Amino acid sequence: MKDESTAAGPKGRPSRVKPARKRAARRDLLLDEAARRINAQGAGAIVLNDIAEQVGLSRNALYYYVADRADLVFRCYLRACEATADNLATAYDQGMDPSDRIRRFVEAELDFDQPEQAVLTDIDYLPEPQRRLIQEHQARNVSALQRLITDGIAEGAFRPCETEIAAQSLTGLISRTRLSAGWLDHRDDRKARRRASAAISDLFLGGFSADPLAETRCAIDVEALVARPYNAFDRKQTNEIKIGQLIAAASRLFNRRGIDGVSLDDISASVGATKGAVYHYFDDKADLVVRCYQRAFELYDLIMDTSVKSGRTGLERALMSLHLNVQAQAGGLSPLMLQPGRLSLPAEELERISRASKRLRIASTRNLRQGVADGSCRPGDSTFMGEVAAGIFLWLPKWLPENYPLSPMRIADEIADLIGHGIEKRAA
Model pLDDT for residues 276-318, shown as the tens digit of each residue: 888 989 999 889 999 999 999 999 999 999 999 999 999 999 9
Task: State the Cα–Cα distance between residues 255 and 278, nearest whole angstrom.
Answer: 19
Q: Is the pTM of this model over 0.75?
A: yes
Any domain includes 9:
no
Any domain includes 293:
yes
Return the minimum-mean-pLDDT range out of 134-138, 277-281, 408-412. Answer: 277-281
Any domain includes 185:
no
Any domain includes 291:
yes
Band the pLDDT of 11: cuts 50, 70, 90: low
Of the CA atoms within 13 Å of residue 98, those in its CB half-sphere come to 20
Any domain includes 390:
yes
Task: State the Cα–Cα distance between residues 415 and 240, nearest whole angstrom.
Answer: 33
Any domain includes 308:
yes
DSSP assignment string, 347-384: HHHHHHHHHHHHHHHHHHHHHHHHHHHHTSB--S-HHH
Q: What percent of the chain has pLDDT over 70?
A: 92
Dihedrals φ, ψ of 158, to 5°? -110, 155
Would the pLDDT of 273 be above 90? Answer: no
Task: State the Cα–Cα distance between residues 397 and 254, nearest whole angstrom.
Answer: 9
* CATH number for the domain harbouring residue 367: 1.10.357.10
Any domain includes 260:
yes
The angle formed by the CA atoms of residues 120, 118 and 328, to the nearest 5 degrees, is: 40
Return the minimum-mean-pLDDT range out of 113-127, 331-345, 352-366. Answer: 331-345
Any domain includes 326:
yes
- Domain that residue 310 falls in: 222-421
Residues present in the chain in total = 428
Task: State the Cα–Cα distance between residues 78 and 67, nearest whole angstrom.
Answer: 15
Quickly count: other Cβ atoms within 10 Å of residue 151's Cβ.
14
* pLDDT confidence of residue 13: 54
How many domains, in total, are found in the chain?
1
Which residue stretches of 95-234 are H helix? 98-109, 130-154, 163-184, 190-206, 222-226
The answer to whether 183 and 354 have CB atoms below 8 angstroms apart is yes
